[in-house]
Structure 1
């Protein structure tokens, strides 16, 4: 296990050195996007339209932040991760079309996303559930928000400036390794052994 402090935008080389079990802290820009935001971004890119921000080399954070407005600035109050499996059906295409280098969330992702991360050079950083205040503390600034009126606060795309956001455990690396799938596969083997012994 190695600990890395990385700054976005990340290069493919940055990501290829990461291995399952490594610990990562991210500084720079990341953006929040859940189900509706993933759909919106993919729709625009498929139409050949430009996004209002450049996701290339950034990390997407599966989160619906709790925010408040202080003067003319947004402040993040809490930003705990949401379950990433909800985005599984879109994430492989999202990685390919946006050029992101990582996903932050909880609960892991599956085969299609793992393969896209291997092919395009991205990783999955697991952030501990229940640590919404820790996440918010690492968010230094809300640089922008997109589609707020259309999608609402939890589903809008929030562009954050972060410092040492983490710890993120590399749970899926860019070499096809997936801690979550390993656990599922081991459990299946054990289940078969148990069923045979009955």
Structure 2
């Protein structure tokens, strides 16, 4: 039997690990103490088809207020009706890509990530049990696509780039794949995943 591509990640899930931030590569930025962040959950869904494990990602609608047109995990802010942050991620994945929560095996949480837009994001690592037909939520998601897990677990595929943001240079991780420019919070969370899988 072939080894589970997530074995190394699962072995590191319970190890203490520092939360990440959109500011990780910008130590000159001093964050205010006592700042209030909004809780959010994203699903990191891994599906195996044809013997190849892939991560499901979305391209956000260009009409959205936050992160328009960017590559993202299915997810969003926690609602009052969500029993916990895992429920948030599962609900959002069902709404955004049509993934039935009954078709998902939750494996655990990756370290939290703070975004520049004021969200405290909990990534929920999950395995999709069976193939499904993705359905992009109109007005929220322009495209649903998959990236081989092996590509995202290869640290050499990550680069540090920079751009001007609010009058100063901001550095961030990217992990491009074909026509998809994966960067910012999504790339940083994937970088953590790759670091956890490192032998």
Q: TM-score over 0.5 for the alignment?
A: no
Tell me the TM-score range normalised by the shorter chain: under 0.3
Higher percent of residues as helix? 1
TM-score norm. by structure 2 comes to 0.26
